Structure 1
């Protein structure tokens, strides 16, 4: 606050002084030097505020007239403003504590706030993993003739919002990645463990304040040492190969609630792993239908709220499965575009 006030004071005082000098008819023959406050050491380092202790340029020669008291006061105010501006800027820089993402001793709230206030360039210095920027993740394109019957109308605008990425979800530099978590939210195996390891101990520390998460729900945290800004945690249904309406509805809720949470937090790029298809035993060939259907319908209802949804897979079998089923939910527009 002091830094902001001093900047305003500095901007205001100089024009005011100029106008007063003109009124005093001192625009000709005036010779003076600018006040230089003796503030070699930041006031914050000395434990108090040090108003300028000396000034240089005391000699003034004027062809006609003398300085009024008001002019002297304004010139003094300008010197004080300059001193406040300089010293408070130094104090602000000195007060910034280095962020340590490798310990759980830090305050997660303050660390999260600081990370979100940083520029991307600054945050990249703190990543605990390599990163893949969004421009390196291509929009999904149809390859060859579609093998699946289209279930929806062609919509190229929606197609441009879809990506299929085979790789490590923890490296994606986007707004949010979804985590296939367990009900404790305290870390586990698979993608859940990878996300916690990449983010560092502060993720677990924040998660411990959330009171867990029920199946189908979604909760959001910071991402800390990950390239993503946020992690949206969701708990998939346990199927063990047997899928009924309860499991289908729960898996649908996972995808929908993650997207809704992203929209509520003004996040426009989201990546999903394959939820529940690992140790939870949801058959991948059935899970892909739920994932694609839910995302397609959410984008139809909220076309302006999302820029990119990335389906992130690790296994080649999942990659092949998505490639074969994506055309059914995001069919290609086969009509030729007008050149007009």
Structure 2
């Protein structure tokens, strides 16, 4: 995410009886290093500082970048004029010795949003270095800039994930009102969750958050070893809770880690409540971080033993109720399934929580009924008293 241009003024406070010089500052970037050079320029009467009245404002100089960063084969060179050079304001100058004239310290705020990130070497194949710096760097990049750091090929952008289209009602009567705007926020996707280029994917993690089998292991492998370093700083996660990290080498910007209930002994109120909490807390933390597209795997239905035919209802009910309350905070919720049986469960039960509109129901039932009955039955299901 690009940083906004900072409009900080420059302040130079001279020592008593001494005229403060203007500083010309040039920033040269090479690798991860930053070098500053300064010189004293001639002063005009307008540039001189009156110690009694305050500082000189508005010292602006140009910075240039001389090398690109990273380890990709393209060299990660800055391609745009804004990346090659731009203007910045010197920050507030306070109390550090400069040329023996006054005490100043420079705080520099740059015009180019992702420059600070790209000025560091981002290596997602090694756990060495400061994960916070790596995270900050990736988070300040645009989607196009981050693509060179993906550790997976064949990413799938959100626009390539179709919206679910209901065709008929479910076998049971829905307890939720029809809301086509919410229905258009739902997708069922068969494929690899680690390839989705969206705001956030949800990881069915264990309590340690340090990786495991199944989808948990797949996400850690695709993200790279830096993900584990950030996860270690979170000190685990309780069942039903959710915590968020950077996506690192994943196409997804964030990974939301949640711990589902273990249900080998059967499903009771405790397990049901915990599974609902996984979905709700994941959506809540996504919304808190402005993640507007989220993909869920089938939480707890693998080695944790939660019956898929029961888990699907907890997932759909929680997502529907969250969207009812926070429809403005989410653009898409994707149910990412791997097994054909899981896909069938979602397609079969989605109409119970996201009922089809009048047109969809009318068309489907008309096509399935004999011609002599279709017209009268369509009129019946369109009766306002049924909604």
TM-score by length of 1: 0.75
Q: Measure, in 2, the Cα distance between the counterparts of 1:230 and 1:201.
A: 15
2:169 touches 2:351 (CA, 8 Å); kept in 1? Answer: no
Cα shift at 1:144 = 5.0
1:236 touches 1:250 (CA, 8 Å); kept in 2? Answer: yes
1:262-273 correspondence to structure 2 within 5 Å: 262-273=286-297
Q: Which residue of 1 aligns with 2:37?
A: 49
Which structure is richer in relative contact order (CA contacts within 8 A, separation 6 or more)? 1
Which segments of 5 or more consecutive residues in structure 2 lack a partner in the other structure? Answer: 11-23, 49-58, 66-84, 87-107, 361-387
Q: Measure, in 2, the Cα distance between the counterparts of 1:140 and 1:43.
A: 48
In structure 2, the CA distance between the partners of 1:48 and 1:207, relative to structure 1 (3 Å rule), is closer
2:186 touches 2:332 (CA, 8 Å); kept in 1? Answer: yes
Q: Which residue of 2 aligns with 1:252?
A: 276
1:152 touches 1:330 (CA, 8 Å); kept in 2? Answer: yes
Matching of residue 103 in structure 1 with residue 126 in structure 2: yes
1:1-340 correspondence to structure 2 within 5 Å: 42=28, 48-51=36-39, 84-87=61-64, 89=85, 96-130=119-153, 131-144=155-168, 146-240=170-264, 242-334=266-358
Q: CA RMSD in A?
A: 3.3
In structure 2, the CA distance between the partners of 1:334 and 1:274, relative to structure 1 (3 Å rule), is same
Q: Measure, in 1, the Cα distance between the counterparts of 2:224 and 2:295.
A: 20
Bigger strand share = 2
**What is the aligned residue count?**
285
Q: Measure, in 2, the Cα distance between the counterparts of 1:5 and 1:244.
A: 58
1:214 touches 1:235 (CA, 8 Å); kept in 2? Answer: yes
Q: Measure, in 2, the Cα distance between the counterparts of 1:196 and 1:295.
A: 25
Which segments of 5 or more consecutive residues in structure 1 lack a partner in the other structure? Answer: 10-36, 55-68, 74-80
Larger radius of gyration: 1
Q: Measure, in 1, the Cα distance between the counterparts of 2:35 and 2:332.
A: 50
1:43 touches 1:50 (CA, 8 Å); kept in 2? Answer: no
TM-score by length of 2: 0.66
Cα shift at 1:43 = 10
Cα shift at 1:228 = 0.6
Cα shift at 1:143 = 3.1
1:148 touches 1:324 (CA, 8 Å); kept in 2? Answer: no
Bigger helix share = 1
